[in-house]
A and B are shown apart, each in its own frame.
Chain A
């Protein structure tokens, strides 16, 4: 029987004076993951952008549980998105969006 893939939702804080288009932001994350782990590694992360609010400098992504540390390491290596300086900090990690939103509100 096919085993269900466990997922993790990550709330991200974008630390930058610049603003980004959601596509540009997603490309920045993908490019960091690909640079660090290659295309094969990136394919295992199951990375999906769920929500991106660049006015609040906040984003929500989904990854597979097995690859969540890989994605977190790749996010930490980001120093630029496009040509604009930026860094990304993980605010909270959770197994459901509902629990994640609760945690983010608590902070």
Chain B
């Protein structure tokens, strides 16, 4: 079966509609069928709708995404309560160990992301992976730093990613590979992202899943949960009315 490729982390400047449209069009041209665009925390339903229309025009599916950067676990819980029903994808950029542990165990978190430039704050270890494997969180790997970093910094990042990918595979934590692109020149084809994942020893099959199956599964699961028919996992409203 043909894979449907997804990029769940495009970071256009939302204040620049021209750049956003160009990036969406380029993603469609590169072969993506599902895009996750990062919105600011305070954006409204109208902005989501406008972006959705632009994506439909370009021929790609759209998923709204928010990146949370809480300083404490309580702040994370508060943000999740406030935003979970507004966005299809919630990613937590883990700034501290406490936050990363809370994010890994919370079933409302879809993606765990760690700073690419600060190696001491990459908290994805065995304990984190075990918590994530019992919840629904996936590990997100952005490719933009691999393109922009050079020399020793890139070597250290690759070394960390190799370790994290191996831990994630060991605990069956899905890996999602995204571009993390903030401009058009940093966007790559899905196959190129998958091949770049081989730099941190992700097998070809797993790398292809990381740009197709895993992100699509997150969006499908959340759309089901956000639909008005959803009651609980496995229970949904089949019909409404007096004759039920």
Contact = CB atoms under 8 A, between A and B. Distances in A.
B192 A79 contact: no
Nearest to A17: B185
A79 B185 contact: yes
A15 interface: yes
How many interface residues does chain B have, given as a range?
10 to 19
Interface string A63-107: 000000100110111010000011101100000000000000000
A89 B147 contact: no
Contacts of A51: none
Contact of B185 (A76, A85, A90): A85
B127 interface: no
Contacts of B198: 69, 73
Contacts of A79: 147-148, 185-186
A73 B199 CA distance: 8
State the majority secondary structure of interface residues on B. Answer: helix
A69 B148 CA distance: 20
Contacts of A36: 199
Contact of A77 (B30, B147, B185, B191): B147
Given A77-B147, A79-B148, A72 B192 contact: yes
B189 interface: yes
Given A79-B148, A89-B30, A73 B196 contact: yes
Contacts of B185: 15, 79, 85-87
Interface of A: 15, 35-36, 69, 72-73, 75-77, 79, 85-87, 89-90
Given A73-B192, A77-B147, 4 more contacts: A69-B198, A76-B196, A87-B186, A89-B188
14 contacts: A35-B150, A69-B198, A72-B195, A73-B195, A76-B147, A76-B192, A76-B193, A77-B146, A77-B196, A79-B147, A79-B185, A89-B30, A90-B189, A90-B191
Interface of B: 30, 146-148, 150, 185-189, 191-193, 195-196, 198-199
Q: Which 4 A-B pairs have the closest CB atoms?
A: A76-B192, A72-B195, A73-B195, A76-B196
